[in-house]
Amino acid sequence: MSIEPGRGLRRGSLCVLAAACMAAPLARGFAQGIPARLDDSTFWHMMNAYSEPWGTFRSENFVSNETSLQWVIPELQKTIRQGGVYLGVAPDQNFTYIVALKPAIAFIVDIRHQNAMQHLLYKAIFEMTGTRAEFLSMLFSKTQLARMDDTTSAIGAFQAIQKLSSDSATYRRNFAAIKDRLMMYHRFALNDSELVSLDCVYGSFFSQGPGITYSYGSSCRNPSGTGGGRGGWQGGRGFGYMPTYLGLIAETDGSGFNRSYLANEANFHAIKDFEERNLVVPLTGDFAGDKTLRAVGTYVRDHAARVSVFYVSNVEQYLFQQADAPGRFYRNVESLPLDSTAQFIRSASAGLGGGANLQSQSGRSYQLISSVLDIVTAFNAGGVALYSQVIQLSHQ
């Protein structure tokens, strides 16, 4: 996942993180000024008022391609304090970090407004379903999957759902219910272009099923109707193929422990509760822009809270390809109210400086962390002029 500048509307990503075990309720910790729930009007106002114009990126990123995203969680749980503010980017991989790190609130900032629509889609489905089985059935427009309990693994759940059929009638019925949840229940004033985007996202999960990958392109991006992905179970690995949604959910933290938001019912209900309280706020914005990150910082400061985690994926890699974009980004970060233990989470590929020192992880990617304050300080001192130097200052 990554970000490029461009045109746009809204985008977002802030998530509150903290250390703790996954099945426990999400903690409030030291962010006592953050409300336990946002009302619908506040949530919708933040989505619009904090966002920047819509931008573009070369892919739609319906799912991640970061097979090792869980590997840094054990170290993060030791490093950061619970109840801070979480910032993130891209789609549902943020849910796994939120469950594991237990923030008070999360802001998801992405230059693609479609990402904000995808998060609204997830929000509606989480709210309307009560179990992992119901969630997966609705996400992929499948006939109802049998009820699962915590003895059912993520792999078992997906193996079961792949056997079920999808049909257009179920899709249309579900999509109508999703729109009703967002527009009638929550009173979110989605415009026509946003409804088209929402339909593109949901239609992609319907057409591709659990085999959807990062490289898939919908008819909205490719009007000819030629998508870009290959389906099928890849076990989350990416040798020649992008990992599938199914495979990513079945990944582990490197020690065999699956920390995914769909690993068990407790994790699912933790995210469901967070969504029902309007605490995953998707924003449309540029990391190097002059509005979104600073608006989030003002909110955090006004609520006597601190940012404890910033999941940036590999966005910095693209920022370093654009003139003074890194400087604008790190100045935005420096303006945030930061906890002293605040950590960046980033994704990198082998060969990007320091790669020889990294332990081989799962599939295509390395997940790395670093102190937010250390990176900003190094940049200001002239010690970070290349993305490879950011990687060298990061660790597993």
Q: What is the 3-state secondary structure (H, E, C) of 57-78?
A: CCCCCCCCCCCCCCCCHHHHHH
For residue 362, name the pLDDT band (cuts at 50, 70, 90).
low
- What span, in angstroms and rounded, lies between the C-alpha atoms of 249 and 65? 11
145-156 average pLDDT score: 76
Q: Report whether 245 contacts 135 (CB < 8 A).
A: no
- What span, in angstroms and rounded, lies between the C-alpha atoms of 219 and 98? 31
Considering the entire predicted model, what is its pTM?
A: 0.87
310-329 average pLDDT score: 96
Q: Report whether 366 contacts 396 (CB < 8 A).
A: yes
- Closest by CA to 217, choosing from 384, 62, 94, is 62
pLDDT of residue 136 exceeding 50, the answer is yes
pLDDT of residue 306 exceeding 90, the answer is yes
Q: Report whether 224 contacts 258 (CB < 8 A).
A: no
pLDDT of residue 311 exceeding 70, the answer is yes
353-373 average pLDDT score: 71
For residue 174, name the pLDDT band (cuts at 50, 70, 90).
very high
Least confident of 80-84, 155-159, 280-284: 155-159
**pLDDT for 352:** 57
For residue 28, name the pLDDT band (cuts at 50, 70, 90).
very low
**pLDDT for 16:** 32
More confident position, 240 or 244: 244
For residue 254, name the pLDDT band (cuts at 50, 70, 90).
confident
230-254 average pLDDT score: 65
pLDDT of residue 226 exceeding 90, the answer is no
- What span, in angstroms and rounded, lies between the C-alpha atoms of 100 and 197? 30
For residue 80, name the pLDDT band (cuts at 50, 70, 90).
very high
DSSP string, 115-176: HHHHHHHHHHHHHH-SSHHHHHHHHTTBSPPPP--TTS-HHHHHHHHHTS-B-HHHHHHHHH
**pLDDT for 357:** 56
**pLDDT for 13:** 33
**pLDDT for 1:** 40
**pLDDT for 154:** 78
φ and ψ of 364, to 5 deg:
-85, -30
Structure tokens at 290: 């002059």
pLDDT of residue 17 exceeding 80, the answer is no
